[in-house]
Homo-oligomer: A and B are copies of this chain.
Amino acid sequence: MNRDASTEPVVVPGSTFGPVFAGLKPHMAALDEFLREQTGAFEPEIREMADYCIDTSGKRIRPALVFLSGWQTEGRPSSALVRAAAVVELVHLATLVHDDIMDGAALRRNRETAARKFGATPAVLLGDALFAHALHLAALFPTTEVCRIVAESTRRVCAGEIVQTMRRGSTRVSRDDYWRIIDLKTAELFRVSCQLGTRLTGAAEGYVAAAATFGRHLGIAYQIYDDLTDFYGDEQRIGKTLGTDFASGKLTLPLLVLMEKLPATERAGLRDEICGSAAGQMSLRLHQMEILGVFDEVETTVLQEIASAETALAPWATESSSALLGQLCGVLRAQLRALRERD
């Protein structure tokens, strides 16, 4: 990929960062090939199950961050980058397998979830095996650094998921709580992806730290955007049912803002819907969000995070990967605009 080619977006259907850079095609092909090879490492009895989970249908946002932040030259990526991309993707896939058990989800991306296909109990263990294999791959690097980073990051992602789970159906969630949850459950792995990509290509310490900060802000922006799509999304395009988070009692930023903006006397009703003591009135809540300008406020927050991500990279404009990472900010802004326009 050269700088010119990188400005030509290629739309990948169903992916937020769909318009990824054309130059990433060989990277993603190398990743898919590597991941397919990995199933051979699993014990024969669980190979088919592992293969099903590793299947190449995901959005691959985290691997894209590894490849973009570790960008050096056009063509086939280094084996170190491919392995690092596989590690973060496997950690992510393992959390999805466990998430789907907890949510009782039957479908993910139009396929049966592992929990539905193999049963909840094997799915718990299968997620464990995917985690373990991710760490095994991390341990194949020459030093313990990748392993240390990934193991710690995995623990933080799990902590974020635990806090979110414990707060589900609770109305005592502050903005700080929300921030903490998405920082751990989403931004952490975005951050680590950028850290690994830069680190493994020998970038200067300062740039590694800047890329990590970029990844963290992008992750927060992405998660808030994703939470917005529960209310404003296009069901067909995004591939999920609107109001799923709302119905499950997840107090995300759009609802937090609505709660703040509603007159005190009207908050009790919304609280009841979140705790599940009353049925969620999706159309009423959407209408109120409209009137009270919830989208605008949430959008402003996302844009602030995107700006913080860009600020982190600003001093590193001469790094070739910096410009590529920066383009993700443009893509997310465009997605946000599209959400408003579809609305």
A267 at the interface (CB under 8 A from B): no
Complex-state Cα separation, A151 to B180, whole angstroms? 29
Instruction: Give the contact stretch, choosing among A72-80, A157-165, A253-261, A311-319.
Output: A157-165
Contacts of A159 in B (CB 8 A): 42-43, 45-46, 125, 129
Docked-complex contact A125 and B158, CB < 8 angstroms: yes
Given contacts A135-B147, A148-B139, A159-B46, contact A101 B129 (CB under 8 A): no
Contacts of A158 in B (CB 8 A): 46, 125-126, 128-129, 132
Docked-complex contact A154 and B128, CB < 8 angstroms: yes
A191 at the interface (CB under 8 A from B): no
Contact with B along A30-59 (1 / 0, CB 8 A): 000000000001110110010000000000
Q: Which residues of A contact B (CB under 8 A)?
A: 41-43, 45-46, 49, 94-95, 98, 101-102, 119, 121-122, 124-129, 131-133, 135-136, 138-144, 147-148, 150-152, 154-156, 158-159, 161-163, 165-166, 180, 184
Q: Would you give the shortest CB distance from A121 to chain B, in whole angstroms?
A: 4
Contacts of A150 in B (CB 8 A): 135
For the residues of A in contact with B, the DSSP-based class is helix
Docked-complex contact B139 and A147, CB < 8 angstroms: yes
Docked-complex contact A124 and B98, CB < 8 angstroms: yes
Contacts of A165 in B (CB 8 A): 119, 121-122, 125
A-B contact pairs, 26 of them (CB 8 A): A43-B155, A45-B159, A45-B162, A46-B162, A46-B163, A49-B162, A98-B124, A98-B125, A102-B121, A119-B165, A122-B166, A124-B127, A125-B158, A125-B165, A127-B128, A131-B132, A131-B154, A132-B151, A132-B154, A133-B151, A135-B150, A135-B151, A135-B154, A140-B144, A144-B147, A147-B147
A155 in complex: contacting residue of B42, B122, B163, CB < 8 Å: B42
Q: Would you give the shortest CB distance from A162 to chain B, in whole angstroms?
A: 5
Complex-state Cα separation, A283 to B157, whole angstroms? 49
Q: Which residue of B lies closest to A47 (CB)?
A: B159
Docked-complex contact A128 and B131, CB < 8 angstroms: yes
A132 in complex: contacting residue of B43, B119, B155, B166, CB < 8 Å: B155
Closest 8 A/B residue pairs (Cβ): A136-B151, A43-B159, A139-B147, A132-B155, A132-B154, A139-B148, A135-B151, A129-B158
Q: Would you give the shortest CB distance from A15 to chain B, in whole angstroms?
A: 26
Contacts of A125 in B (CB 8 A): 98, 158-159, 161-162, 165
